[in-house]
Structure 1
Amino acid sequence: MTTNSKQISGKLAEDLTLRHLETCGLSLICRNWSCRSGELDLVMLDGDTVVFVEVRYRRHAAWGGALESVDLRKQQKLIKAAQLFLLKESCWAKHPCRFDVVAMGSAEGGAHPSWIRNAFDS
């Protein structure tokens, strides 16, 4: 798979995830927020809770499942990026926060998203 097709697959996974979460009542704050620590795929609002959503897509189960790819190192990067987001977007800083992972791919059952709420502690 070329880099371009990986980007397309990742974007499609994000698009599907966004639609799924919106149908579940969440609303988008921003998408692909970048900083020196990394990128937040989706930042959403669930009631009054700011939700940092990591979207993971794996085409082949042999490479490991999408959920397993969010290891401790990746979690630490996401936490740091979320902290920077809350500093820069201070209007959200007083809201409760959580980290969700939405996994898609052959190991997770195809195009249907597997949504893990509060996937790890900050």
Structure 2
Amino acid sequence: MLLVPAAPVMGLRAPVGGVVVGSGFVALLAVAPASLSYALGLTVVTAQPFAPLVNGVAMPAMLLSGLMLPMSLAPAWLDALSHVVPLRCPVDAVRDAYAGVYTSATMLRGVLVVVVFAVLAVTVGTRVFRRAGA
């Protein structure tokens, strides 16, 4: 989010509405992993397995979502594999929003994935937090 104000200097041409929609996606996507991280942190017995577990899930999910580069640039087998990762939908939706496309099927899928993911993650995080007595 800190790079968005500097992005026009580097060539970003996105409508303000697209930036707002993209920020909404980022905000909801931040809530979900935060909730799951708290749940995992309260579940593991010692701190040592926490980092490998988080990185073992987060890194492949981030790379296969197409966050760094569009998956259309990847080999066909990797592009096909990336469709299994649910985070690809919101990443593609944010790309649509930054292009000014708000009513596409990609946008709908992205919104649905983000909302469902956030609701499930907050539900799991809340249950684990309550069980821990914190």
> Normalising to structure 2: TM-score of the pair?
0.30
Question: Which of the pair has the greater relative contact order for Cα pairs under 8 Å at 6+ separation?
Answer: 2
TM-score under structure 1 normalisation? 0.32
For the pair shown, the structure with the greater C-alpha radius of gyration is 2
Which structure features the higher share of strand residues?
1
